[in-house]
Amino acid sequence: MFFKSLTGRILVLSLLLFTVAIGAVTMLHIRREHEHIISSNRETAELLLTVVERAIASAMVVGNTRDVQAIIETIGSGEQLVAVRIFHPDGRVLKSSIPGELGRRINPHDLAIFEKGASYDIFKSSAGKVVSVIKPIWSEPRCTPCHGLSRKVLGVLNVNYALAGPEAQIYASSQFFSLSMLIMIGLLTGGVLLIFERFVRRPLRDLSTKMAMVEAGDLSAHLDPSHPDEVGQLMESFNSMVERLNRAQAELEQYHFQQMERADRLASVGEMSAGIAHEIKNPLAGISGAITILASDFPADDPRHEVIAKVLEQIARLDRVTNDLLYFGKPGEPVFTWVDVNDLLKNTLFFVAQHPEARNVHQVQELTRNLPPVWVDEKQLQQVFFNVIINAIQAMKSGGTLFISTEQCEVNGQQVIHVIIGDSGPGIPPEDLERIFTPFFTTKTQGTGLGLAICRQLVERQGGKIKVTSRLGEGTRVTIELPVTQFREE
């Protein structure tokens, strides 16, 4: 609907604003013009009154009433003069340019002007709107022969001046101003709409079209701001947004490619690892059994027992490696249950304390109380904790501090539990930090390089994340993030 559009609202508001503003100025001007015309005609009536007074003064002194009447009739024959008269203070008409009203009562409006002590008034009569001007005629020394010595009002001189002509002039002036007002409102409103169309609506329409293109997936959309105003700044912001979307899309495509490449690589490595482990594990078991039987044929003090023990130790190490390969290639399906993270950490630390390398390590625990339980596989999560803690201990060969903490926080609107395991070891170089989750990457002389890769695999199967940060000379910190789901009784 037109009036619901931005253009329609601008049109209506502009019309209202211009009508109120220009209308108020026009009405003020018309009113001022009306007052000016009325004032001018009143002054004209007062001037005529003075002329009549002077014309009849000499005739009244000698008592020549006929000359007074003739003068009044002559002056009263003017086009805009309704009546020129002299009336007694009691309201009787003594002399008048209208002979028929001699001896009658004066118009109540004219008498009221005299009784109020005013000099003029405007009222409507049968002749239309008139301005009535009065002036009392006082006795003078030369009037004493006829009217005595006392000073009194001998009569009231009255002139009624018609305002029909001035009213017509005012009406014509009002029509002219009203028409001018309408033309001005139309021109201003049209000008505002043209400016709005040129500098606002057209750029916004172009912006809307380009936004629809971006919404449809076309990130080649671009706007060319023609003016450095707010709309131009909006267009620049749109172009900047599209450029960032282009960069983000390229980064997402690169990340997706890397993830797909990693998934393919891990799948190949997993299949290869499982095949190798199966091929190695059974022969190792046979070799271990055969060596154990051979060792029983040697006397107890035979020095060859030490060699056999070393061989069996290496066979056990190879067995652990094959187990890691098997687990990495075909991890077991998780069995989910509600687990208290703090209790699981304490149990894991109890087993870690039995490790020989843990004796020179000082533990610092900051476990947040009343953490909600998490929905995870307890054995797999404990394996993650155990591997990460053992890695931290092994990084502190000369002793140090093992730091373990838990906390509940919000990440992207989701409640999570952070398990932080840190050490005060030498830290990991930046070039190695990027590859620590890569299968078979290790900086140790012994090990398969599958520990952290398996840990990440297990944590992601629990719906969580694992992140490692490190600074050379300060130590390493591993953060395990586990989602908090609504707890329910089993």
- The side-by-side arrangement of strands in the sheet containing 400-411 is 361-367, 400-411, 414-423, 475-483, 465-471
The DSSP call for residue 119 is S
Average pLDDT over residues 196-208: 76
| Domain 227-330 class in CATH | mainly alpha
For domain 2-169, give the fold: Beta-Lactamase (3.30.450)
Looking at mean pLDDT, say which of 38-42, 159-163, 212-216, 363-367 comes out highest.
363-367
Strands 400-411 and 361-367: parallel
Distance separating alpha carbons of residues 98 and 320, to the nearest angstrom: 140
> What pLDDT score was predicted for residue 242?
81
Query: 402 with 389: CB under 8 angstroms?
Result: yes
pTM higher than 0.75: no
Query: 245 with 214: CB under 8 angstroms?
Result: yes
∠ at Cα 452 (450, 454), nearest 5°?
A: 65
Q: What is the pLDDT of residues 370-401, one digit of tens each?
A: 899 999 888 888 888 988 898 888 888 888 89
Looking at mean pLDDT, say which of 33-47, 91-105, 444-458 comes out highest.
91-105
Distance separating alpha carbons of residues 64 and 58, to the nearest angstrom: 9
Structure tokens at 382: 């404990």
Query: 42 with 66: CB under 8 angstroms?
Result: no
- Please check the confidence at residue 354 and state whether its pLDDT lies above 90: no
User: What are the φ and ψ backbone dihedral angles of 475, each rounded to 5 degrees?
Assistant: 120, -175
Q: What is the pLDDT of residues 48-88, one digit of tens each?
A: 777 777 777 766 665 666 777 787 777 777 777 788 888 88
Structure tokens at 427: 């830290």
Which range (9-13, 142-146, 473-477) has the least confidence? Answer: 142-146
Angle between helices 6-61 and 65-76 (to 10 degrees): 160
* Nearest alpha carbon to residue 313 among 451, 452, 446: 446
Residue 226 is inside which H or E element, if any?
Answer: none
User: What percent of the chain has a predicted confidence (pLDDT) above 90?
Assistant: 10
Q: What is the pLDDT of residues 386-445, one digit of tens each?
A: 888 988 888 888 888 999 999 999 888 889 999 999 999 888 888 887 777 776 656 665
Architecture field, domain 334-483: 2-Layer Sandwich (3.30)
Residue range(s) in the chain whose domain bears CATH number 3.30.565.10? 334-483
∠ at Cα 87 (83, 91), nearest 5°?
A: 115
Q: Bigger pLDDT: 44 or 59? A: 44
Confidence of residue 125 (pLDDT cuts 50, 70, 90): confident
Query: 338 with 375: CB under 8 angstroms?
Result: yes
Average pLDDT, the chain: 78
Q: What is the pLDDT of residues 148-166, one digit of tens each?
A: 556 677 788 888 888 777 7
Average pLDDT over residues 291-315: 74
- Please check the confidence at residue 144 and state whether its pLDDT lies above 60: no
Residue range(s) in the chain whose domain bears CATH number 1.10.287? 227-330
Distance separating alpha carbons of residues 34 and 46, to the nearest angstrom: 18
Residue range(s) in the chain whose domain bears CATH number 3.30.450.20? 2-169
Query: 406 with 345: CB under 8 angstroms?
Result: yes
